[in-house]
Amino acid sequence: MPGNKGMSYPADPPRVEEIVAVMRQAGGGAHGDRLRGLVVVLWRAGMRISEALDLREGDLEPARGALLVREGKGGRRREVGMDEWGWGQLRPWLDRRVALPVGPLFCVIDGPTRGRPWTAPAVRIQLHRLAAAAGVRRRFAPHQLRHAHAVEMAREGLPLNIIQRQLGHANLRVTTVYLQAIDSGEIISAVHARRAPMMPAGVGLQG
């Protein structure tokens, strides 16, 4: 059981440059490729850590840009999308994965448990260590990457119901909690940039 189970944290998703810095800090080799692959699945597909670690190679459809979540929260099954950049970051790990025993997509690489599931506590420890080494001075955990996914989609103008379906939320109110990281300055700028109301020709405010 993770030490933070049952605790809540404010929505404070990492910025793009911080996520990329952690991905770079992972270095080369199989371990680096695995870490970068997992980060993009959490960040660019918005998966929960349990969903990502439950993936199998057969759950991926790169041609469609789809990943299958066999059992999400509440036992719900769904498909999620991931952008081509994310697939590009995942491919080096997919190429390495074929040389390992059949099993979970993100697996142990070395030792007697080679091919067995990579665990969430091990992922959290590694992300924390890499974030510190990369100079990221905010909490950097798997769920923060999922928050970043939601906020970025909202900023890009995707409808709230699509964000809800992507994240696998049964309740739209939960999705809105994920978007609390959008600060008031962004809200003011977006509303300030709205067009003037459309009025029929000849109709004006001057009497």
In a domain, 29, yes or no: yes
In a domain, 163, yes or no: yes
In a domain, 196, yes or no: no
Q: How far is CA 191 from CA 1, 10, 197, in A?
A: 43, 25, 13
- Could you report the per-residue pLDDT of 152-176, keeping only the tens digit for each? 888 888 888 788 888 887 777 767 7
Distance CA 47, CA 60 (A): 13
**In this structure, how many other beta carbons lie within 10 angstroms of the beta carbon of residue 155?**
12
Q: What is the CATH number of the domain that holds 39?
A: 1.10.443.10
State the residue range of the domain holding 89.
16-183
In a domain, 188, yes or no: no
Distance CA 97, CA 95 (A): 6
- Number of domains making up the chain: 1
User: What is the predicted pLDDT for the residue at 194?
Assistant: 46
Higher-confidence residue of 4 and 18: namely 18
Q: What is the mean pLDDT of the chain?
A: 83
Q: Which residue carries 């099954």 as its tokens?
A: 77
**In this structure, how many other beta carbons lie within 10 angstroms of the beta carbon of residue 40?**
23
Above 80 in pLDDT, residue 206?
no
Confidence of residue 44 (pLDDT cuts 50, 70, 90): very high
Higher-confidence residue of 74 and 96: namely 96
pTM of the predicted protein model? 0.80
